[in-house]
A and B are shown apart, each in its own frame.
Chain A
Amino acid sequence: MTTNIPAIDQHAAPTGGSTNYLNNTSGFWSWASTLDHKRIGLMYLVGTTLAFLAGGLFALLVRVHLWEPDGMLFDNPTYNQVFTLHGAFMVFLFVIPAIPGSLGNMVLPLMLGAKDVALPRLNLLSFYLWLTGAVLATLAIILGGFDTGWTFYAPYSLYTQKAVVTIGLAVFVLGFSSIFTGLNFIVTVHKLRAPGLTWFRMPLFVWALYATSILQVLATPVLGITVLLVAFERLYQVGIFDPRLGGDPVLFEHFFWFYSHPAVYIMVLPAFGIISELVSVHSRKPLFGYKLIAFSSLAIAVISFLVWGHHMFTSGQSTFAMFAFSFLTFFVAIPTAIKEFSWVATIWKGSIALNAPMLYTLAFLIIFAIGGLTGVILGSLSVNIHMHDTYFVVAHFHYVMMGSIALAFFAGLHHWWPKMFGVMYDETIAKIACGIIFVGFNATFLPQFIMGSRGMPRRYATYVPDFQVFHQASTVGAVILGVGIALMVYCFVVSLFQGKKAMVNQWGGVTLDWLTPTPPPLENFHEAPVVTTEVYDYSTLDLSTTRTPIA
């Protein structure tokens, strides 16, 4: 994709004197009231990363507690609170908002050749809603915590003497933060594409965010009304979910999973988008099956609305419903496998650069294959009955949420870090951190597959001694994982102060985000770009601005 931007390298990287979005204004208020998508993206990055570190701390506490069969740290009610905090913080404050909020905000308008998202004020509102949700969630901890699991299943969530209304309100507010981000991205993609940037010239990260946005807009309101009804239930006993009062708790589960299954794809589709970009750029090769990947995102978005019942195989559905939900669940595997194979085919015979973003990408490809295939296993009705609510499920969704989504997020962060800040991190440290994370992650969750398949139930504070060896292996893995993540964060923070200046086009990308100065100026492009070539056409790459190709 070339543009009519004349000789991009003249706007040499962050040399003194040039103004960019980071330094065009300064002071607290210039950030707190900014309408610039890039600054909002950075604020999301800081916020969601802090939430991730908090959620990770809760995870470590859970793992340390489970070192002994009788538990090491907490009494049982406290344990219930700690794992709930881990789940709620990770899901609602990190995994759902992190990629669209930070990297999506930062990169989507750049990739479209736009000056900003279509609705900048709404974008800032989204961030402040996220912040309000984070404050409310923290407040809920102070007000007595919550011990329902992140799923808030009725009737327990209606009876427990904890701050469920406060955390419910937090989830409601966070839901609208997510809705507004999705709405904004849909409008931006429809209305602010640069001249010549047709739908099938859009980078696949944009396609993935577009499919995500559809899900955010169409699924999240149902979660909103569900948590609102739980709050009403607790405040004035409406009885809609309360079996004592004639209500049906299974209705809650239907409502909840009608959102929360699509939410799984709200989380994972942006990760797919990042991986699509990265396999292409770091193999310097056009994507294999571009249109298939684009359409598979949309297919996943559609199918994801039809499979929520597979979370409820043991909740009392009709046999026919279970059969239908199981059957439809298998369909998700098709577009997902199309992506996985396309990524691998893209790397094949490419000019592969084994830098930190690419290492994370390769780690993703391995981990996601396991995470995805175990999902198919769990989708099979008869197997699911045995595996339901065991550590096998825990291991499966951590292979997707932590191993795939978080690792894709890290990959994207390493990839766009030089673009965002104009500096490079230490590649060696970044690669070591990646290796430690990969080892630590698998050490944590592979044992959980084994003990889950042998019957270890999830969410238990204690367990029979037979499982101790697996739990201890998992805990050791979690500590290794924690060390790796700490090293990665350290590497990023140090780069801000001591990092070498990044090249204009650090990796040799040909999408519009790499054809603007580094870091980008306030309105992203010095001249409005016009797209004249196809997407991922590396023959147009200006080699003077980037790394040399590997032979």
Chain B
Amino acid sequence: MSHDGHHSVVIPAPGPEFVPHTVAHHFDTPVQEFQAAKLGFWLFLATEILLFGGLFAAYFYYHETYAETFRVGGQQLDWQLGAVNTTVLLLSSWTMAMGVRSAQTSQKGKTLLFLGLTVLGALIFLGIKYVEYSAKNQHGLIVFSHLFDGYDQANKQLPWFQDYGGVMKDVPHGHLFFAIYLTMTAIHGLHVVIGAGLIIWVMKGAAKGRFHAGYFLPVDLVGLYWHLVDLIWIFLFPLLYLVP
């Protein structure tokens, strides 16, 4: 760094419990840094939507092709548990928004509280999801212990799709609904886990006082991510549980 004029912009801390933020060397102003990160993150969210877009396209295609399968398959899901999970995620989006707001107004305690509540929401969601998955496992629709067994050529059946109850017997390719249900909710569930991890990471920073009115970018971005995870579920819930 030979040259003259190298000076980093520092945003001062608003109080003793906070730490100042140094703007990255290649930005001239904090606003530039903020806007660049925000634009980049919105683009990243667009890629997430397109990733799920492929799954939604597959959903709609097979919903058209095997309407009856999707109708009967959807009835096997517990819409009440799904509704509870929807409520949990919506509430967690509210706590996330409050967490961002608290960071913006330099309220360290409240930031930690609301972010913690959001993580709690994520855990409740995953817990309910676990109950739902294991119910499918016990009813013998999806047998998780056989998930990675190959297609049974001799009996022409999928080991993981047993249909013990016989409910999907009269519809074509009954497994297809559950395959799509499982793939979509599992990939969404993975995003919930990643989101919770990110929130915990942001909480560590918040505990050190890194986020305040002058600098709250990571909280903001993780908040956007969490809202997207919520938003995707808002589409998954009616499509999988209600529409069929």
Contact = CB atoms under 8 A, between A and B. Distances in A.
A188 B40 CA distance: 9
B47 A114 contact: no
A225 B54 contact: yes
Interface string B36-47: 110110011011
A523 interface: yes
B176 A246 contact: yes
Contact of A24 (B1, B37, B55): B1
Contact of B40 (A119, A221, A237): A119
Contacts of A24: 1-2
B21 to A, nearest CB: 16
Contact of B50 (A221, A236, A246, A247): A221
Contact of B43 (A183, A226, A255): A183
Contacts of B1: 24, 522-523
Contacts of A523: 1, 3, 6, 25-26
A222 B5 contact: no
B173 A246 contact: yes
Given A186-B43, A191-B32, A229-B183, A119 B61 contact: no
B58 A526 contact: no
Interface stretch (B97-105, B143-151, B232-240): B143-151
Interface in B50-66: 50-55, 57-58, 61-62, 65-66
The main secondary structure of chain A at its interface with chain B is helix
A217 B66 CA distance: 32
A235 B148 contact: yes
A32 interface: no
A99 B203 CA distance: 39
B36 A192 contact: yes
Interface in A175-200: 179, 183-184, 186-188, 190-192
A426 interface: no
A220 B59 CA distance: 20
Contacts of A239: 158, 173, 175-176, 179
Interface residues of B, number: 47
Contact of A19 (B2, B40, B158): B2
B180 interface: yes
Contacts of A222: 50-51, 53-54
B48 interface: yes
Contacts, number: 126
B35 interface: yes
A527 B58 contact: no
B50 A218 contact: yes
A150 interface: no
B197 interface: no
Given A119-B37, A251-B58, A220 B47 contact: yes
Contacts of B26: 114-116, 118, 120, 192, 523
B5 A191 contact: no
B189 to A, nearest CB: 14
28 contacts: A115-B26, A118-B40, A120-B26, A183-B44, A183-B47, A184-B40, A192-B26, A219-B50, A220-B47, A221-B50, A221-B54, A222-B54, A229-B183, A232-B183, A236-B148, A238-B179, A238-B182, A239-B175, A240-B58, A240-B176, A245-B151, A245-B173, A246-B66, A248-B65, A255-B57, A521-B2, A521-B3, A523-B1
Interface of B: 1-6, 24-26, 32, 35-37, 39-40, 43-44, 46-48, 50-55, 57-58, 61-62, 65-66, 147-148, 150-151, 158, 160, 172-173, 175-176, 179-180, 182-183, 187
Given A115-B25, A187-B43, A238-B183, 18 more contacts: A24-B1, A114-B26, A116-B25, A183-B47, A186-B43, A192-B32, A218-B46, A218-B47, A218-B50, A221-B47, A221-B53, A222-B51, A236-B148, A238-B179, A240-B179, A240-B183, A521-B2, A523-B1
